[in-house]
Chain A
Amino acid sequence: MKLNKFKSSEITPENFYINRRQFLKEMGIITGTAFASQNIITSALSYTPETERKITPYKFATTYNNYYEFGTSKSDPHKNSKDFITKPWDIKIDGEVENEITLSVEEIKNMIPSEERIYRFRCVEGWSMVVPWLGFPLNKLLNKVKPTSKAKFVKFTSVYDPDQMKGQRFPVLNWPYKEGLRIDEAMHPLTIMVTGLYGKELPNQNGAPLRLIVPWKYGFKSAKAIVNIKFVEKMPISSWMNASPKEYGFYSNVNPNVSHPRWSQATERVIGENIYSPRIKTVIFNGYGDEVAGLYDGMDLRKNF
């Protein structure tokens, strides 16, 4: 697997961001930010699979979100999540495991250092961003438990708290939000648990305190505000599969050749571009085919959409 195939200098991030990158590189440490207490490894800064596309401005990545727990409009999550309480926060890892565990987010952050990953983020609605996440491979967390031989899938459950999340007071989806991955997808080094973005702590509207990012799948697969990770034998039914099984499949890999029943997936709009910018072509597996196509060898991607 060629993870270090691109140099970070090849991308053109926004100003404050490049400053931070250079600073991190030169100093090898992090100081003076809200994130100072966190455990971040800097060696991974050379890791970036992004060469062609510009990093999305921070403003858009944090104000243009799909997070129906806080409302169905794109601006709702930013508006309605301001007072959301994420401390204390426990995550239980259980199901088909020999040793189920409950860890606090603080414990997890101290145990596993975060690194930077610049990933493309493609929404099933046909728009995309490029986001510099801070996080760690999910496999490092999953390795804390021993799955039994029955375990085939991993099910993620997001928090249910209608008092704080007013979107959950309406049956838009079957709350709490549920997602799932096959174990090999969950263990894949590109699959990360996110603790921050743009060198900052993860904002509430982006799924604080801990969210998933699976860069080769449509954005809705990347569950936010996770409270439970369960190893299971049978393929989990995600909230979106439950809402519309013909439109949202379990795999939901980014694929320009398999269109959504109601719209095409061949192209995407780049967030932050101006009104006259054309759509760009969507790439299979969102451009991560070299790394992940092997997971689906021999599978009919049209059937397993």
Chain B
Amino acid sequence: MIRIFKPTIFVLCLVPFIIIAYQILFNKLGAEPVKQVTHHTGEWTLRFILLSLAMTPLKNITKILAWIKYRRMLGLFAFFYGTLHLLTYIGLDYQFNLDPIIDDVLNKKFIFIGFAAWILMLPLVVTSNQKMVLILKQNWKKIHRLSYLIGIFAVLHFIWLSKTIFFEPLIYLIILITLLTLRLDFIKFLLKKKSVT
């Protein structure tokens, strides 16, 4: 099963990239092209972060181990889209003009926290392969708990850049809170108890 599923999901994960590449190539981005690319890549980064965070709770709830096999791929796609998002901002929006970018990162909290989220992804990417899991042992788990912090930062990034209380950031916040709550020990305890009885 996994042999068929994994490549299928890999291709599905590329769909948002194919869509935006098509829109860029065929000039279908509308009134504010740069913003469109920024939003699209940003939104999919956030979605992949939350998807990757959902795998462990899904495993716990459904008792199906296979979910875990997709966690790394989803996390790496989050990094892929996050990097495209960052490159859009630096390259397309500010045309590699570093002064306003540095100014933004230091003075604008939504940009600071978004940049911080991307930086925090780096150690996770570097330690994502099986070899690193074996080398780092217990520490691997500790390092990869950063993914929750990245999720929090990414949602805050979206909330802080919105002009007023919008639904979309709130929906992501609710999903994030749900996922974090499911990782709390007492919830896990309740779930375990249920499965025993």
* A contacts, CB < 8 Å to B: 60, 63-64, 68, 72, 74, 125, 127, 170-173, 243-244, 259, 262-264, 266-267, 269, 271-276, 278-279
Chain B, Cβ-Cβ closest to A263: B108
**12 additional A-B residue pairs with CB within 8 Å, beyond A262-B108, A271-B32:** A63-B31, A64-B32, A68-B164, A72-B166, A74-B31, A262-B109, A264-B103, A266-B100, A269-B32, A269-B34, A271-B31, A275-B33
Given A173-B164, A264-B103, A267-B100, A64 and B29 contact (CB-CB distance below 8 Å): no
Chain A residues closer than 8 Å to B34, beta-carbon distance: 269, 275
Chain A, Cβ-Cβ closest to B91: A276
A244 touches B164 (CB 8 A): yes
CB proximity of B190 to chain A, nearest CB, Å: 35
Chain B residues closer than 8 Å to A262, beta-carbon distance: 108-110, 160-161
Chain A residues closer than 8 Å to B109, beta-carbon distance: 262
B95 at interface, CB cutoff 8 A: yes
B138 at interface, CB cutoff 8 A: no
Chain B, Cβ-Cβ closest to A247: B163
Chain A residues closer than 8 Å to B165, beta-carbon distance: 171-172
A269 touches B35 (CB 8 A): yes
B93 at interface, CB cutoff 8 A: yes
Enumerate the 3 nearest inter-chain pairs by beta-carbon distance, A residue then B residue, closest first: A64-B31, A275-B33, A60-B31
- Choose among A72, A170, A171, A266 the residue with the greatest number of B CB atoms under 10 Å from its CB: A72
Chain B, Cβ-Cβ closest to A239: B164
A278 touches B95 (CB 8 A): yes
Chain B residues closer than 8 Å to A74, beta-carbon distance: 31
- Choose among A171, A275, A279 the residue with the greatest number of B CB atoms under 10 Å from its CB: A275
Chain B residues closer than 8 Å to A271, beta-carbon distance: 31-32
11 contacts between A and B (CB under 8 A): A64-B32, A72-B164, A72-B167, A125-B163, A127-B32, A173-B164, A259-B107, A262-B110, A262-B160, A275-B24, A275-B34
Chain A residues closer than 8 Å to B87, beta-carbon distance: none
Chain A residues closer than 8 Å to B31, beta-carbon distance: 60, 63-64, 74, 271-272
Chain B residues closer than 8 Å to A267, beta-carbon distance: 100
Chain A, Cβ-Cβ closest to B93: A279
CA distance A68 to B167 in the complex (A): 13
Chain B, Cβ-Cβ closest to A68: B164
B49 at interface, CB cutoff 8 A: no
B37 at interface, CB cutoff 8 A: yes
CB proximity of A77 to chain B, nearest CB, Å: 13
Chain A residues closer than 8 Å to B108, beta-carbon distance: 262-264
CB proximity of B29 to chain A, nearest CB, Å: 6
Contact of B92 among A63, A64, A276 (CB under 8 A): A276
Chain A residues closer than 8 Å to B104, beta-carbon distance: 263-264
B164 touches A275 (CB 8 A): no
Chain A residues closer than 8 Å to B95, beta-carbon distance: 278
CA distance A273 to B110 in the complex (A): 26
Give the contacts of B4-38 with A (CB-CB under 8 A).
Answer: 24, 27, 29-35, 37
Chain B residues closer than 8 Å to A244, beta-carbon distance: 164
Given A64-B31, A74-B31, A264-B104, A243 and B93 contact (CB-CB distance below 8 Å): no
CA distance A11 to B108 in the complex (A): 37
Chain B residues closer than 8 Å to A259, beta-carbon distance: 107
Give the contacts of B57-82 with A (CB-CB under 8 A).
Answer: none
Chain B residues closer than 8 Å to A278, beta-carbon distance: 95
Chain B residues closer than 8 Å to A72, beta-carbon distance: 164, 166-167
Chain B residues closer than 8 Å to A63, beta-carbon distance: 31
CA distance A71 to B162 in the complex (A): 14
